[in-house]
Amino acid sequence: MSKLDQVLILDPPSDLKFKGPFTDVVTSNLKLKNPSDRRVCFKVKTTAPRRYCVRPNSGVIDAGATVNISVMLQPFEYDPNEKSKHKFMVQTIFAPPNVSDMDSLWKDAKPDELMDSKLRCVFEMPSENDRVNDVEATRAVPAMNSVRAEPTPAVMPTAAAAADDAEMKKVLEKCRRLQAEVNKLTEENRQLKDDAYRIRKMPRSDHMTSNSTNLVGREHTIAYLPSLLVVLAAIFIGFFSGKFIL
pLDDT for 86-130, tens place per residue?
Answer: 999 999 999 988 877 888 899 999 999 999 999 999 999 887 655
Looking at mean pLDDT, say which of 3-17, 94-108, 136-150, 190-204 comes out highest: 3-17
Specify the CATH superfamily of domain 9-124: Immunoglobulins (2.60.40.10)
In terms of C-beta density within 10 A (0-12 exposed, 13-18 middle, 19 or more buried), how is residue 88 classed?
Answer: buried
Q: Tens digit of pLDDT for each residue in 215-226? A: 445 555 555 555
pTM above 0.75, yes or no: no
Q: For the chain, how big is the Rg over CA atoms in Å?
A: 50
Task: Give the distance, in angstroms, between the CA of residue 157 and the centroid of all CA atoms in the same chain.
Answer: 22
Domain ranges of the chain: 9-124
Average pLDDT score over residue span 70-75: 96
Q: What is the pLDDT of residue 244?
A: 47
How many Å apart are CA 55 and CA 47, to the nearest integer? 16
Compute φ and ψ for 188, nearest 5 degrees.
Answer: -65, -40
Amino acid at 180: A
Q: What is the largest CA-CA distance in the chain?
A: 158
Q: What is the pLDDT of residue 163?
A: 60
Peptide bond into 56 cis (omega under 30): yes
Q: Which of the two residues, 39 and 146, has the higher pLDDT score?
A: 39
Residue 125: closest CA among 178, 90, 158, 77: 77
- Residue 154, pLDDT > 50, answer no
Quote the Cα angle for 134-140-142, to 5°: 115
- Residue 153, pLDDT > 50, answer no
